[in-house]
Structure 1
Amino acid sequence: MYPSISAPPSSVGALAFSQARTSSRNAFSGSLRSKSTSIPYPRLMQQAGQVSPDGYWLWNGTEWVPNPYRPPVVAQWAPPFETPRFRATMTTVFLIANAIALGLGILWTVLNIAYIQTPNPDQAFTAVWGVLALAYLALLFGTLIPAGVFFSMWVHRVVRNMPALGSPDWRRSPGWSVGSSFIPILSLFYPYWAVLDAWRASDPRWRWLNQTARKSLGVPALPAVWWTLYLLALVMNRISAVMDRSSDVGTRVAGSAVDIASSVVLIGAAVLAIFVVRDLTARQELKNELISSGRLA
């Protein structure tokens, strides 16, 4: 019978420490695997090695795991988030007023068709035609200019908020996003691209979105339809202006009909612009709230 030999106290402590460390590592790995399955885009990638749009996760063929190849993110200073709510409200008010002005313009155009077709209009008819034209122009430009100013201010704010919401790499700076609206040709595309970039950057599902990740999110329907209607109205208005310069009465009447159609399309674009401003403002406020509360990190 051999006497029992007990391990030295130091060996027992080392063994216990080693076992505890191993169990804690296993627990951490298990929790990490369980978290990786809760990523909100399990069907986005189907091939092993694909990376999520925000760059944080890697699809290993069966589940999302933390991306080990993601370079470390260096915290950069970003302008603090400021809500565009006031600018959005003022933009909405003047867009509604401008839509009313366009409706008055449709009434004037209908009257103008009758005026064109009347060989010798009397003074009363001419007076009504002239007063309505002045009222239309005053209301049109009295609402169009403030709407453009507040919309530009709103675009500046939503683009400026992008770094605070996790997209520090602007496609274009806030100043250039607004300034391009006043440059011929560029004004046909750049304002829409600025709004589209801010819309994607405000996606509340992901904390960080660089340009590549934002482009992968696709084109939302609302901004695309809004800008399509706006461009269509510009083309129709240009056609109407050319036809209105004709000396033929029939051509001028047809041009007035095209002008009415362009006003209807432009009213539709104004309505959609209101929804774009409202929804993008709400998206930015929601994402900022999620970031501030720690629910989106």
Structure 2
Amino acid sequence: MELSTRRTAGAVKLLLIIHAVLLFAGLYAHLSTYRLYSEMPELYWHLPHPARDVQRFVVLAQMCSFFITAIFFLLWTYRSYRKLSALSDRNLRFSPGWAVGWYFVPIMNLFRPYQVMEEMWKESAPDADPSRIEEGKSRTGSPLLKGWWGLWLLSHLLAGVLGVRPMDPGESALFMFLTGIAGILLCLVTFLLVRAIDQRLAKKRALMERQIREKARAFP
């Protein structure tokens, strides 16, 4: 399980980098489309422009990248939460299945995934004493958690506006530009969060294995 979790975390980090690169590549196309439409809105649909074709291609690539990255991120969440359950004597608040399932439940997906990640952060502390039930509640979270969830909500809010509000090509390109910036920041924070939790889980496992070996030597 250890190797599987570490490999999944590595795959998620690589996919986040790829997705961020695609989002960055789209910024120029979105900005060029916005400028083109602003300068000549009446001729926009009649003039050939490479940025328009690049924009369509990049958006399609971003969608594919997003779904692949999301699948691996959810897989990492499931495996990491299951690993955390095995390393902790406390009863965790959620099951590994629901750690992933809350993302798909309307309304609940506005706060439950954050609570799942917050618990993963607190309980993965290497020096956490699993015999002390109240210890996990007193631990503080990380600014990465709030940054990650705030950017997640912001990026999805911007994407939702694009989906429900009629816009001209210029306004749409501007919103896509802003969504791209939020997405790049989200990729960065998610990369740091996944790396941090993965490292904490590895240290916690190593510490527990060392404690078991020391007890075995003390009581042969």
TM-score (norm 1): 0.63
Report the CA distance shift for 1:171/1:135 in structure 2 as closer, same or farther (over 3 A). Answer: same
1:69-90 deviation line (CA, Å, top 9, x unaligned): xxxxxxxxxxx76652111111
Task: State whether structure 2 residue 33 is matched by structure 1 residue 85.
Answer: no
Q: 1 CA distance for matches of 2:132 and 2:77?
A: 19
Structure 2, gaps ≥5 residues long = 216-220
Q: 1 CA distance for matches of 2:32 and 2:105?
A: 35
Report the CA distance shift for 1:193/1:89 in structure 2 as closer, same or farther (over 3 A). Answer: same
Q: 1 CA distance for matches of 2:137 and 2:51?
A: 51
8 Å Cα contact 2:15/2:65 also seen in 1? yes
Q: 1 CA distance for matches of 2:133 and 2:28?
A: 46
Matches within 5 A, 1:63-82: none
Task: State whether structure 2 residue 41 is matched by structure 1 residue 124.
Answer: no
Matches within 5 A, 1:43-82: none
- Pick from 32, 36, 44 the counterpart of residue 111 of structure 1: 32
Match of 1:216 in 2: 138
Which letter maps to 1:95?
L
Equivalent position SS for 2:128 = coil
**CA-based RMSD:** 2.5
Higher relative contact order (CA 8 A, sep 6+): 2
Equivalent position SS for 1:205 = coil
8 Å Cα contact 2:128/2:135 also seen in 1? no
Task: State whether structure 2 residue 197 is matched by structure 1 residue 280.
Answer: yes
Which letter maps to 2:43?
N
Equivalent position SS for 1:204 = coil
Match of 2:129 in 1: 207
Report the CA distance shift for 1:82/1:235 in structure 2 as closer, same or farther (over 3 A). Answer: same
Matches within 5 A, 1:247-266: 253-254=170-171, 256-266=173-183
1:22-72 deviation line (CA, Å, top 9, x unaligned): xxxxxxxxxxxxxxxxxxxxxxxxxxxxxxxxxxxxxxxxxxxxxxxxxxx
Work out the percentage of aligned pairs sharing the same amino acid: 22
Match of 1:71 in 2: none
More helix by share: 2
Equivalent position SS for 2:92 = coil
Which letter maps to 1:180?
W
Q: 2 CA distance for matches of 1:156 and 1:209?
A: 24
8 Å Cα contact 1:108/1:129 also seen in 2? yes
Equivalent position SS for 1:294 = helix
8 Å Cα contact 2:121/2:141 also seen in 1? no
Report the CA distance shift for 1:224/1:83 in structure 2 as closer, same or farther (over 3 A). Answer: farther
Structure 1, gaps ≥5 residues long = 1-79
- Structure 1 residue ranges (4+ consecutive) displaced by more than 6 angstroms after TM superposition: none
Report the CA distance shift for 1:138/1:167 in structure 2 as closer, same or farther (over 3 A). Answer: farther
Q: Compute the displacement of 1:257 (Å).
A: 3.0
8 Å Cα contact 1:239/1:255 also seen in 2? no
> Which protein is bigger by CA-based radius of gyration?
1
1:257-290 deviation line (CA, Å, top 9, x unaligned): 3432232122111101001000100000001001
Which letter maps to 1:85?
R
